[in-house]
Amino acid sequence: MTHKPAFDLASGWRGARGEAALSDVSRTIQLPKGTWRRFAAFLGPGYMVAVGYMDPGNWATSLAGGSTFGYTLLVVALVSNLMAIVLQALAARLAVASGRDLAQACRDAFPAWVSVPLWALAEIAIIATDIAEVIGTAIGLNLLFGVPLEIGVVITALDVFLILWLQKKGFRWLEAFVITLLGVIAASFAIQIALADPDWGAVIKGFAPTVEIVKNPEMLYLALGILGATVMPHNLYLHSAIVQTRAWGDSLPEKREALRYATIDSTVALMFALLINASILILAAAAFHGPGQPQVAELGDAHRMLGPLLGATVAPMLFAVALLACGLNSTVTATLAGQAVMEGFLRMRLAPWARRLITRGIAILPAAGVTILYGSAGTGELLILTQVVLSLQLSFAVVPLVMFTADRAKMGALVAPRWLVVLATAIAVVIVGLNLKLLVDFFGGV
């Protein structure tokens, strides 16, 4: 039974709040008594969101950035991750304060001539995300088991049944599946980094900012790809929806507690994601950057070259295992994000299996077409392009999120404090400014 909160901040919204997105799992996780047990019950959504910060598209941009510019772009990964922490905290705040996810908030706050284009842009972002994740999973299957890419793309449709089976057992099972695969990814990269033996002095220096990133168009392009792969628009929609799987109460103290625990959950999870993202770039810089080394953006090339360069046959296998785990995790969470966006913006209510087949089909069709036309040769460039597309779409999710959480009429007592609004506004300005710079460079032929 879907829990319907008694409160409604109707005075701040154009439309009335409808049924929660992902209604089959909304408010299904009960909160036990006791501080630590309640805190533990809130752990999970942050790690599902963190999956999107280490997806196969991120691998492609980090591999290209590390192999081309060494450790220089590590600062971009760091800054992007800090931006993500702030924005995901705002997504959780929106959900707890208003009872709406970001898609529902856009629908209820804006007229149709604004909300419909925002829905279309959100769908484009999810398609770009899914293309990267479907292709990444297919490449992982190809590298590990020799499955042709075209067949691998189709096999990714099976995640629909995986989600259905896990959610039937309970949403916590789905979270446990995702967290387990995250552990596999972390262990794989820990071993590969040890084998690569990077220059740790250069690694530390790479976290220092440099103006060269903005001045060099190629470096800026890859930096925006990393930004798009790190701060992903679909994660803002997803987080604001799955936070509501917890059955917190309607009183202000209960909502403050929910917001505090949800923020801790996402912050810790995203710091873990930073470790993975930095590991990918460090591995690429240590293994592939240097005189005579070509830029490596193709996942298959990286897999093939790791063994000879690191002197260990286990390195390519670990790379492929981590890639497959990333792809499986990311397709699961992107499917849920697609469902949340469809339901939140359009109020479409379909059977769970039909909803998931539609969202997965939207991704598989273009991914299969690209794979058939270009094979593995163009997948690296395509993956980087999808991340830049995500970066360009990001403004259309971030700006409404900042607007909503700064509005006391919409948020009530849980409105974002002034310092957080200023920080989030600065992040939004930076994102919009960098994207405008990218467009000027691209169309100006720089």
pLDDT of residue 3: 46
Query: Model pTM greater than 0.75?
Result: yes
- Which residues pair with residue 29 across a beta bridge? 246
Phi, psi of 24 (to 5 degrees): -70, -15
Per-residue pLDDT reduced to its tens digit, 335-385:
788 888 888 898 876 666 676 677 667 667 766 776 677 666 656 666 667
- CA angle at 28 for the pair 25 and 34, rounded to the nearest 5°: 145
Q: How many CA atoms lie within 13 A of 117 on its CB side?
A: 7
CA–CA distance, 134 with 140 (Å, rounded to integer): 10
Please check whether residue 5 is in contact with residue 225, taking contact to mean a CB–CB distance below 8 angstroms: no
Domains, the chain, ordered by start: 19-443 (1.20.1740.10)
Phi, psi of 336 (to 5 degrees): -65, -40
Per-residue pLDDT reduced to its tens digit, 289-307:
766 565 665 666 676 667 6
Phi, psi of 246 (to 5 degrees): -85, 135
CA–CA distance, 152 with 159 (Å, rounded to integer): 12
DSSP character string of 264-303:
HHHHHHHHHHHHHHHHHHHHHHHHH-STTPPP---HHHHH
Contact residues for 224 (Cβ-Cβ < 8 A; gap 6+): 387, 388, 391, 434, 435, 438
Q: Considering only CA atoms, which of 315, 279, 324, 301 is closest in space to residue 379?
A: 301
Which secondary-structure segment (H or E) carries 163? helix 159-169
Per-residue pLDDT reduced to its tens digit, 419-433:
999 999 999 888 777
Mean pLDDT of the 383-400 span: 78
**Residue 148 Cα to chain centre, angstroms:** 27
Judge whether residue 4 has pLDDT over 50. no
Confidence grade of residue 212 (pLDDT, cut at 50, 70, 90):
confident
The one-character DSSP state at 18 is -
More confident residue, 66 or 55: 66
355-387 residues labelled b (16+ CB within 10 A) or e (exposed)? bbbbbbebbbeebbebbeeeebeebbebbbbbb
CA–CA distance, 172 with 184 (Å, rounded to integer): 19
More confident residue, 139 or 108: 108
Q: Which two tokens stand for residue 268?
A: 């810790």
The one-character DSSP state at 170 is -
pLDDT of residue 90: 96
AA identity, residue 171: F
Tracing tokens 């593995």 back to the chain, one arrives at: 376
Q: Considering only CA atoms, which of 257, 214, 339, 273 is closest in space to residue 88?
A: 273
Q: What percent of the chain has pLDDT over 90?
A: 27
Please check whether residue 182 is in contact with residue 47, taking contact to mean a CB–CB distance below 8 angstroms: yes
Lowest mean pLDDT across 29-38, 39-48, 332-341, 378-387: 378-387
Q: Considering only CA atoms, which of 235, 180, 248, 239 is closest in space to residue 29?
A: 248
CA–CA distance, 96 with 348 (Å, rounded to integer): 23
Q: Which two tokens stand for residue 204?
A: 């530390």
Residue 190, Cβ neighbours under 10 Å: how many?
13
Please check whether residue 21 is in contact with residue 241, taking contact to mean a CB–CB distance below 8 angstroms: yes
- Which residues pair with residue 246 across a beta bridge? 29
Lowest mean pLDDT across 16-20, 207-211, 375-379, 427-431: 375-379
CA–CA distance, 388 with 338 (Å, rounded to integer): 19
The one-character DSSP state at 17 is -
3-state secondary structure of 179: helix
Contact residues for 433 (Cβ-Cβ < 8 A; gap 6+): none
Judge whether residue 52 has pLDDT over 80. no
Mean pLDDT of the 274-287 span: 87
CA–CA distance, 247 with 250 (Å, rounded to integer): 9
Per-residue pLDDT reduced to its tens digit, 85-114:
999 999 999 999 999 999 999 999 999 999
AA identity, residue 382: L
Judge whether residue 223 has pLDDT over 90. no
32-44 residues labelled b (16+ CB within 10 A) or e (exposed)? eeeeeebeebbbb
pLDDT of residue 196: 82
Contact residues for 442 (Cβ-Cβ < 8 A; gap 6+): none
